[in-house]
Amino acid sequence: MPLPIVLRRGAQAPPRHRQLADQLRALVQRGTLASGAPLPSARHLAAQLDVSRTTVDTAFAQLRAEGYLEGRPRVGIVVAAALPEQFLRVAPIAARGAYTASSHAPRATSHAPRASRRSATAWPDDPTSARDVSSPVRAFMTGTPLVDGRLRDELARRSAALWRRAPRALLHYGDPAGYLPLREAIVQHATAARGVRATAAQVVVTSGAQQALGLAAQLALDPGDQAWIEDPGYLGARAALRAAGARLVPVRTDAQGLDVERAVKRAPDARLAYVTPSHQYPLGATMSAARRFALLAWAREARAWVLEDDYDSEYRYATAPLPALQALDSDGRVLYVGTFSKTLVPSLRLGYLIVPPALADSARRARAVSDRNAPTLEQALVAGMLDDGSYARHVRRMRLLYAERQAALLAALSAHCARWLEVTPSDAGMHLVAWLPRGVDDQRVSRAAHEAGIDAAPISRLALVPLERGALMLGYAAFTPAALDRAAERLAVVLSRVVSPRR
């Protein structure tokens, strides 16, 4: 009996050997061709379908390689006795009380094992929980860079070239500290842009800045150690320090950055200070030179560490940046965190930690235990961009574009929201802080904005100590001036409902 196979013809049809293999596979999977059933010879099947014998032989070879067909002496090609699906699907469990994939999950009982104490205390904060990662990017989402067609094309071209030409070593397990050419390129970049002083041996490539913060906290802190942290400040840093067992000491910041004098009075024996000196997150201040030297002097006296998160240092619009704290450190006390998530693509998940020489070996071992190594091909891709200057060109292009978008957002807020919000330009970064009138709950305003299709994060969520005044964080980097203006109009409608005009 002829097999029920029909092949499409024409220039737009898939190759005939692929069509034949797909249809034969489907007949086997449905049971139309049972295990052990013989197939027509290649000559007879080729005649039936009016194709060359090479087409049939190629399809048969493909299905034999996949395990659907096998050859038997004096019989020819038959359907395999054991099909691939038997080895890819778990067999049902018939034991009493067991459950299958289709049943409900097991219920908690008094015999369930107890979770560790760390599971209840080490991870009290989820820095991602406030944002639905499945929701679309919408104004005024913060921390979101522009990923335009030009950058996509650049990344696609480099990625394709790497997959085609990568040597075998690049496809194998990598060095836990990171791909050496990338570590060398990071040192050159950080030296030129931020004055950092380091060697490639001090660099550990991480899966984004968050892993770098967690790794630094584990290297520098013992459970119970006190750690200064900017307040309000970055939730990811708060979570990383708490996971390391730190007792957080929130320290207010002002126009000069973290108040070192106040921090010393509160916790002189702290083991670590977490700071974002280039562009304080979220308020935007740049730590003054006097505060920088005071912080390093305290760290020397207290034999403490400084964890420098060089947040948004690439995007400055008004003044040249001060050197990184790491560049001023003569005692080997600063751990420096950088990332490519804000400059390239967040999903790339590549960051780095530059440690003092005394911690280099420990950092490499800790990275190996964490998740072995960051994806090597992605590391090679970024290394190439750093080496040939395309990364620097991209950052320069984005800096100009983001400056224009910040100006557009300021104009839109002035036109639509000036009755309720107090906003000033920022010298750096990708968001503005819009202060609400005193007494207004910024989280209530943020929820109302979310219901109106706007992402306006409340600054109070980032504070350990209640703030005297609420504010909204409004990102602009990923949005066109027209989109920013439309979002400002919608925000004005929200504010008119829930906020009294400021006086």
The predicted-structure confidence for 10-69, as pLDDT tens digits, reads as follows 888 999 999 999 999 999 999 899 999 999 999 999 999 999 999 999 999 999 999 999
What is the CATH number that goes with domain 393-498?
Answer: 3.90.1150.10
- Kindly indicate the confidence band of residue 180, based on its pLDDT and cuts at 50, 70 and 90: very high
Mean pLDDT of the chain: 89
Between 89 and 75, the more confident residue is 75
Please tell me the distance from the alpha carbon of residue 385 to that of residue 127, in angstroms, as a whole number: 30
pLDDT at 363: 94
Tokens of 151: 């950058």
Distance CA 151, CA 334 (A): 33
At 12 the pLDDT is: 87
Tokens of 367: 């990275």
Q: Which residue has the higher pLDDT, 267 or 74?
A: 267
Residues 63 and 20 sit within 8 Å (Cβ to Cβ): no
The 10s digit of each residue's pLDDT in 378-399 is 999 999 999 999 999 999 999 9
Is 99 a residue whose pLDDT tops 60?
Answer: no
Contact between 24 and 33 under an 8 Å Cβ cutoff? The reply is yes
Return the CATH number of 173-388, one of 3.20.20.20, 2.70.40.10, 3.40.640.10, 1.10.10.10: 3.40.640.10
- Worst-scoring range by mean pLDDT, 134-143, 441-450, 458-467, 470-479? 134-143
Residue of 458, 349, 466, 471 whose CA lies nearest to 130: 458
Task: Check residue 411 and give its pLDDT.
Answer: 97
Q: What is the CA radius of gyration of the chain?
A: 30
User: pLDDT class for 138, splitting at 50, 70, 90?
Assistant: confident
pLDDT bucket at 91, cuts 50 / 70 / 90: low
Average pLDDT over residues 147-175: 91
Task: Give the model's confidence band at 168: pLDDT under 50 very low, under 70 low, under 90 confident, else very high.
Answer: confident
Question: Residue 337: which residues within 8 A CB-CB, separation 6 or more?
Answer: 209, 212, 213, 216, 307, 308, 309, 310, 351, 352, 353, 354
Residue ranges per structural domain of the chain: 16-86, 173-388, 393-498
Kindly indicate the confidence band of residue 403, based on its pLDDT and cuts at 50, 70 and 90: very high
What pLDDT does 500 receive? 74
pLDDT band at residue 162 under the 50/70/90 scheme: very high
Residue 126 has pLDDT above 80, yes or no: no
Q: What is the mean pLDDT of residues 73-88?
A: 86
pLDDT reported for residue 470: 95
pLDDT at 129 over 70: no
Asked if pLDDT for residue 132 goes beyond 70, the answer is no
> Between the ranges 69-78, 103-112, 354-363, where is the mean pLDDT highest?
354-363
pLDDT band at 372; cut points 50, 70, 90 = confident
pLDDT for the residue 186? 96
- Dist CA 398 CA 412 (whole Å): 20
Q: pLDDT-derived band of residue 460, with 50, 70 and 90 as boundaries?
A: very high
With beta carbons less than 8 A apart as the criterion, state whether 502 and 419 touch. yes
pLDDT over threshold 90, residue 1:
no
Choose the most confident range, by mean pLDDT, from 128-132, 191-195, 260-264.
Answer: 260-264
- Percentage of the chain beyond pLDDT 70 is 91
Residue 501 has pLDDT above 80, yes or no: no
Strand, coil or helix: 69: strand
86 vs 245, more confident: 245
Better-predicted residue by pLDDT, 31 or 129: 31
Q: What is the DSSP string of 46-114?
A: HHHHT--HHHHHHHHHHHHHHTSEEEETTTEEEE-SS-THHHHSPPPP-STT---TTSPPPPP-TTSPP
- More confident of the two residues 323 and 482: 482
Band of pLDDT at residue 156, cut at 50, 70 and 90: very high
pLDDT of residue 130: 53
Tens-place pLDDT, residues 277-319: 999 999 999 999 999 999 999 999 999 999 999 987 788 887 7
Binning the chain into helix, strand and coil, the percentages to the nearest 5 are 45, 15, 45
Task: Answer whether residue 90 shows pLDDT above 90.
Answer: no
- Phi and psi, residue 270, nearest 5°: -60, 150
Q: Looking at this protein, which amino acid is placed at residue 87?
A: F
Fold of 16-86: Arc Repressor Mutant, subunit A (1.10.10)
Count Cβ atoms below 10 Å from residue 7 Cβ, excluding itself: 17
User: For the whole model, what pTM was predicted?
Assistant: 0.82
Task: Give the CA distances from residue 453 to residues 136, 140, 418, 456, in Å, rounded to whole numbers and listed in that order.
Answer: 10, 10, 20, 10
Q: What is the pLDDT of residues 311-352, one digit of tens each?
A: 877 888 877 777 899 999 999 999 999 999 889 988 888 999
